[in-house]
Structures are given as structure tokens and as C-alpha cells.
Amino acid sequence: MFIQLITVGNLKEKYLVQGIAEYAKRLTRYLKFQMIEVADEKAPDTLSEAEVSGVKAREGERILAHVKEGAHVIALAIDGKLWSSEELAAEIDRLGTYGTSHVVFVIGGSHGLSDAVLSRAQQRLSFGRMTLPHQLMRLVLVEQIYRAVKINRGEPYHK
């Protein structure tokens, strides 16, 4: 299986970079993993609703440019489904069992994801109603993908 994580913006915080690198390294024992960072839009802190839509649209175009035809896309969105670690593991297993070899998780920028990206996604996943920094979500998601792989293989880690 090939799992991609497409995110908006460059990760600069050393502790997050190191954490993601550690889980990505662990994942390579089990599957092909790749993280792609697309440029975020430089914008002032205060934007009109139309300007926010424009920012999300431009970032969305960059995201979609990396999504291959036939890939199964799971967008992280606050209105998505809440899955437990076991449910994420079961979904990854189900996708692989029924012929989906390429899964793409998408994390938007600080304004979220464009309607075009959300429309392209087959599923929406939420980690809860709390707002978390999109940079931190990268680490949380990569750890959860690793945990899901370990659950599916019946290997120790999941507690």
C-alpha cells in the first residue's frame, strides 16, 4: 500500500519534523509513505470571507495537482467522521483488501480546505471539534497511521 500525506505549508518546528520523521521511518517497514508539502498562501491575519475562499481555492489547486487519479482521498475536516484508532485501522485494512493501493490523507492550511478538495475526497475524517494547529495534526495523523498498521498486523504497540 502507498499512503501519502499532502499538507499545506512548510513545517519548521524541529520537534514536529523529528517526530514525523521517526514515524515515517517506522512506517517504511510496512508500506510506502510520502509526505508532500504544498505552499501556503501568504495573507494578512484579517481577511474577508471572499479572500479566505480565494486562499483556500489556490491552496486547493496545489493539493489537487498531487492527487493521482484512482487515489482514495481522506480529507481531515472538523465536520468529518470521528474514528477510533481501531476504526482507522479497519478502514485502512478494508481499502487494501478491496484493491485500493493508494490512499491520500489531506490536511489543509490555517483556513481549512477548499470545496474542490472536499468534493474530491471520498471520506472526511475528524479528530474532534477542537481546533488544533495544522502542523501538529501532521504528527498526530502519522502516528495514528503507524498505530493502525500495528493494530492490523497484531503487533505490540497499541495499548
Tell me the sheet residues that pair with 140.
none
Residue 46 confidence (pLDDT):
85
Beta strands in the chain (DSSP E): 2-8, 32-38, 72-82, 102-107, 123-126
- pLDDT digit string (tens) for the chain, length 159 residues: 999 999 999 998 999 999 999 999 999 999 999 999 999 988 877 888 999 999 999 999 999 999 999 999 999 999 999 999 999 999 999 999 998 999 999 999 989 999 999 999 999 999 998 888 888 999 999 999 999 999 999 998 865
Q: Which ranges of 28-126 does DSSP label H, i.e. alpha helix?
A: 49-64, 85-97, 115-120
35 belongs to an annotated ligand binding site: no
141 belongs to an annotated ligand binding site: no
62: Cα within 13 Å, side-chain hemisphere: 19
The label of the residue with cell 498498521 reads 149
Q: How far apart are CA 51 and CA 103, in angstroms?
A: 31
pLDDT in tens, 72-96: 999 999 999 999 999 999 999 999 9
128 belongs to an annotated ligand binding site: yes
Backbone angles phi, psi at 66, to 5 degrees: -100, -5
Residue 159 confidence (pLDDT):
57
Residues contacting residue 125 through CB under 8 Å, at least 6 positions apart: 74, 75, 76, 77, 80, 81, 83, 88, 105
Q: How far apart are CA 55 and CA 154, in angstroms?
A: 43
Question: All domains of the chain, ordered by start, with CATH?
Answer: 2-41+51-153 (3.40.1280.10)
Residue 16 confidence (pLDDT):
96
Residue 158 confidence (pLDDT):
61
127 belongs to an annotated ligand binding site: yes
Residue 132 confidence (pLDDT):
83
Closest by alpha carbon to 63, among 134, 158, 144?
Answer: 134
9 belongs to an annotated ligand binding site: no
112 belongs to an annotated ligand binding site: no
Residue 14 confidence (pLDDT):
96
